[in-house]
């Protein structure tokens, strides 16, 4: 591959987010929007139950602190809690099947479109692209998109609902504790913005280095005959080791950044939890706050920060999906180099050279012995007949 080709491919692969590409990938999910909408509705139901369960525990703790026998009320709360667990599990199971089946349907549509387009491409395209690369496009790249549709897009609505719902309940119960609990959100937002920028640059480096590795492999595989002829195996291996080491360094950098995001978010959330417990315990000892409310805030605080901590994983999935989607769209936008013109239909008996019947008698050309005259052979006579055969091009005599 030429240096110009290197530069173009690296420039294209360096674009880690393309809104136009994202909208095009979303277009494949449009025929299945009703299934995705149902999946979102089920996820919101599960999120509501997740908000309800800690509240039931809060009611039980408060009831224990009240005078009188609490057992009847506790049994009712326990029954409601058990019912919420059963419904939560059943909905989560059905929703997982729905999301995965819908994602596979979307991927099936993309895979069939890619394969159908490959069949229409010119043969020269297959000469320039190794079979392994094309198989990867049809199988691996399409499967990477499945994670975007199932793990990111649908769950994004659930995460937003959990964050907003948790904040509303916390501020309605006690705005002082809520303010302490969300006090770390500005720092978490700053950390998220910083890490997203670092991850974006790290992913760009990985994709550029991966493009160089792929280009080096393509050059060596296509020129293997020349490499053997001039005994350049050692030099080509050294060149490949160099670009492969660069890919390793870029991948290791990206992994370090991604791995450090979640621990940082967990640390900030634990600091917020410690502040909430310290301030809440003082209010509880003073009688201004019930123990049930304090427990509820600690549970909600974890639910508040968990979706934020998952952002790094979702970002990695999105970057991988965008990279695969970019390669698939590039393949789908590749036009055939030679368009086959559609031949006009010709009715039987029409056209400048209509099909005729040709009868060739069983005559033998001059100077050729007739096989029938051979000794011991019976005379064989017959004819060759062609019916409805045309030997002319359409539009020509």
Q: Is the pLDDT of residue 5 over 50?
A: no
- Pick from 226-230, 243-247, 299-303, 383-387: least confident: 383-387
In a domain, 340, yes or no: no
Choose one of 281, 301, 332: the last residue of a domain.
332
Residue 184 burial class via C-beta count within 10 angstroms: exposed 0-12, middle 13-18, buried 19 and up:
buried
Q: Is the pLDDT of residue 144 over 90?
A: no
3-state helix, strand, coil in the chain (%, to 5): 75, 5, 20
328 with 359, same domain: the answer is no
DSSP string, 214-241: HHHHHHHHHTHHHHHHTT-HHHHHHHHH
**Range of weakest confidence among 51-55, 103-107, 199-203:** 199-203
In this structure, the answer to whether residues 152 and 203 fall within a common structural domain is yes
pTM score of the predicted model? 0.66
pLDDT in tens, 353-391: 444 444 445 544 445 455 555 555 555 566 777 676 666
- 117 plus 246 within the same structural domain: yes
Q: CB within 8 A of 215, min separation 6: which ones?
A: 1, 5, 6, 9
* Average pLDDT taken over every residue of the chain: 80
Residue 337 falls inside a structural domain: no
What are the residues whose beta carbons fall under 8 Å from the beta carbon of 372, sequence distance 6 or more?
378, 379, 380, 381
Instruction: Compute CA distances 200 → 197, 279, 295, 306, 346, whole Å.
Output: 5, 38, 38, 22, 59
Length of the chain equals 397
Residues 16-23, mean pLDDT to the nearest whole number = 76
pLDDT: is 355 or 226 the higher one?
226
Q: Which residue has the higher pLDDT, 92 or 341?
A: 92
pLDDT at residue 4 in the model: 39
Q: Is residue 345's pLDDT more than 60?
A: no
Classify residue 339: in a domain, yes or no: no
Residue 374 resides in a domain: yes
Residue-wise pLDDT tens digits, 166-205: 888 889 888 888 888 888 888 888 888 888 788 878 887 8
pLDDT 10s digits, 33-47: 999 999 999 999 998
Residue finishing a domain among 308, 332, 356: 332
Res 232 pLDDT > 50: yes
Q: Is 153 within the bounds of a domain?
A: yes
Same domain for 163 and 233? yes
In the chain, the DSSP E strands lie at 356-361, 383-389
Domain of 370, in residue numbers: 346-397
CB 71 within 8 A of CB 117: no
Are 108 and 209 members of one domain? yes
Q: Is the pLDDT of residue 14 over 50?
A: no
Average pLDDT over residues 43-65: 89
Same domain for 120 and 213?
Answer: yes
pLDDT value, residue 39 = 92
The verdict on residue 317 lying in a domain is yes
Q: What is the predicted pLDDT for the residue at 110?
A: 93
Asked whether residue 7 carries a pLDDT value surpassing 60, the answer given is no
If asked whether residues 303 and 388 sit together in one domain, one would say no
- Is 338 contained in some domain? no
The CATH number that applies at residue 263 is 1.20.1560.10
- 394 band by pLDDT with thresholds 50, 70 and 90: low
Kindly state whether residue 341 falls inside one of the protein's structural domains: no
Same-domain pairing of 255 and 115: yes
Residue 119 shares a structural domain with residue 164: yes
Same domain flag for 280 and 363: no
Q: In this model, does residue 266 exceed pLDDT 50?
A: yes
- Overall domain count for the chain: 2
Checking if the pLDDT of 348 tops 60, the result is: no
Q: Which of 332, 355, 382 is at the close of a domain?
A: 332
Distance (Å) of CA 371 to CA 169, 360, 364, 382? 105, 17, 9, 13
Backbone angles phi, psi at 359, to 5 degrees: -115, 120
Residue pair 302/268 in contact (Cβ under 8 Å)? The answer is no
Is the pLDDT assigned to residue 347 strictly greater than 80?
no
Tell me, yes or no, whether 318 and 395 share the same domain: no
Q: Are residues 327 and 356 in the same domain?
A: no
């Amino acid at each position: 591959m030429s240096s110009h080709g290197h530069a173009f491919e690296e420039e294209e692969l360096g674009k880690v987010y393309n809104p136009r590409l994202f909208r095009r990938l979303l277009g494949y999910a449009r025929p299945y929007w009703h299934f995705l909408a149902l999946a979102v509705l089920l996820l919101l139901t599960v999120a509501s139950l997740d908000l309800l369960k800690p509240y039931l525990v809060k009611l039980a703790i408060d009831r224990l602190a009240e005078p009188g026998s609490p057992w009847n009320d506790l049994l009712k709360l326990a029954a409601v809690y058990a019912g919420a667990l059963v419904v939560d599990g059943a909905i989560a199971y059905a929703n997982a099947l729905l999301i995965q089946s819908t994602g596979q349907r979307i991927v099936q549509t993309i895979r069939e479109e890619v394969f159908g387009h490959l069949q229409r491409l010119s043969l020269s395209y297959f000469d320039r692209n190794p079979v392994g690369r094309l198989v990867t496009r049809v199988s691996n790249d399409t499967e990477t998109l499945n994670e975007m549709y199932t793990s990111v897009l649908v769950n994004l609505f659930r995460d937003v609902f959990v964050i907003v719902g948790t904040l509303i309940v916390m501020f309605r119960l006690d705005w002082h504790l809520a303010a302490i609990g969300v006090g770390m959100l500005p720092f978490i937002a700053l950390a998220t913005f910083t890490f997203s920028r670092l991850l974006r640059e790290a992913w760009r480096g990985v994709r550029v280095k991966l493009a160089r590795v792929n280009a080096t492999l393509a050059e060596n595989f296509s020129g293997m005959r020349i490499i053997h002829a001039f005994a350049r195996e050692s030099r080509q291996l050294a060149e490949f080791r160099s670009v492969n080491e660069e890919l390793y360094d870029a991948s290791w950098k990206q992994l370090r950044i991604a791995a450090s995001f979640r621990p940082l978010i967990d640390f900030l959330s634990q600091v917020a939890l410690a502040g909430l417990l310290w301030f809440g315990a003082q209010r509880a000892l003073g009688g201004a706050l019930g123990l049930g409310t304090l427990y509820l805030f600690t549970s909600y605080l974890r639910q508040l920060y968990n979706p934020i901590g998952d952002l790094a994983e979702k970002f990695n999935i999105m970057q991988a999906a965008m990279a695969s989607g970019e390669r698939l769209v590039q393949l789908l936008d590749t036009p055939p180099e030679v368009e086959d013109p559609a031949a006009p239909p010709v009715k039987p008996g029409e056209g400048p050279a209509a099909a005729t019947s040709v009868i060739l008698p069983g005559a033998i050309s001059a100077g050729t012995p007739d096989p029938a005259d051979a000794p011991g052979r019976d005379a064989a006579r017959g004819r060759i007949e062609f019916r409805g055969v045309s030997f002319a091009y359409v539009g020509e005599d």
